Amino acid sequence: MSFFLLGTVFYQGSMFSSLIALTPPDLPSTLESVVDSKIQIITTSFLAISMSLLRYEIIDEVMNATGKSTKLFHTLTDLKARTSFIPPSTSSSFGIALHISEARNLKFENNVFKKVMDTFAIINTEYDLDQLLAGMGVKRSPFVVRHTESPRFFINKPVTTTRGFASCVLYESIGQLVQSGLFKLWMDLQNTKNFAQGVAGGISKEQYRRIVANRIFGAKKQIIFEEAEQVELSSLENIVVLFAGIIGISIAAFMREWLTYQILSHLGWKCWRIACQVLTMMKLLLIKFQEGADILSISLVQKGCKLLRRAKWP
């Protein structure tokens, strides 16, 4: 009974919320589907410039290498017209995402201040994208869908050097570093360092520690089970009252059963005693009746003998 009450009264809300399945929205995952969906498209820059490299440089280069009659050309044309650029100003990409998470007004191109829509797409470099996603997860829990196709836009920064006596050794050493994976490891460590520095402002130490730990260890989300959460003592008052009520009802039921048993046993003992007394009295009456019958028969025999004597039988 107590388990049933606990399960239905106190844990009904958590059980109901645990059994609810939220269906994620059907969001686009390719460049063409993003442009065709007519959702808001934004981009930022990690450089301190007031123009978007995506809109004025990268898209134009891809369009110049694409035929005008192709589907990709029309997609890039619509993408260039619909992309909204948020200049970095004094905030980093993480700071911009933090403002998006707090639903604040942001400064777009041409000094236009407005909020970002609830559903939007971001086209950024991988480094900026990590900071944006980390910032938007501070105040909210966004549902994120990454692209499922190969990237269409690249930023290539060629390095040129003059040929010298050590050029062959330098090229060979760089090639060995790339093939061994050390160069990529250095780049990852440098990006992690820049990420930790970029998310340092505007959040508490606990939030900073969680974001950096998720970045380093690759954890996507911190999962805390309901059983592991700390419960305040004030929330246990109803359980204490319930337990006290159950114990009181149990004691009352036990006393009722015990008293009922005592009363019934006492009544049974009395009935047994009365029955024994009745049987004893009946036995005595029978004995007396038998004694009376014997006396009566003896007196009848004596009277018969007297009558015979009087009749003088031969």
Q: Read off the pLDDT of residues 39-84 as tens digits, 9 standing for 90 and up.
A: 888 888 777 677 788 888 888 888 888 888 888 899 889 988 888 8
User: Residue 4 — pLDDT band, cuts 50, 70, 90?
Assistant: very low
pLDDT of residue 256: 81
CA dihedral 294, 300, 303, 309 (to 10 degrees): -100
Token pair 């050029």 is found at 167
Which burial class, exposed, middle or buried, applies to 84 when counting CB atoms under 10 A from its CB (0-12, 13-18, 19+)?
A: middle
- As a whole number of angstroms, the distance between CA 231 and CA 121 comes to 39
User: Residue 296 — pLDDT band, cuts 50, 70, 90?
Assistant: low
Residue 35 pLDDT > 60: yes
Residue 277 pLDDT > 70: yes
* pLDDT, average across residues 154-173: 76
Minimal CA–CA distance to 35: which of 82, 67, 98, 69?
82
- As a whole number of angstroms, the distance between CA 311 and CA 304 comes to 11
- As a whole number of angstroms, the distance between CA 93 and CA 74 comes to 29
DSSP state letter for 235: G
- As a whole number of angstroms, the distance between CA 121 and CA 140 comes to 16
Q: Read off the pLDDT of residues 203-253 as tens digits, 9 standing for 90 and up.
A: 788 888 888 877 777 655 555 555 545 556 665 667 777 778 888 888 888
User: Residue 7 — pLDDT band, cuts 50, 70, 90?
Assistant: very low
Token pair 């007297």 is found at 306
Q: Name which residue leads in pLDDT, 293 or 157.
A: 157
* pLDDT, average across residues 16-24: 58
Q: What is the mean pLDDT of the chain?
A: 75
Q: Name which residue leads in pLDDT, 4 or 107.
A: 107
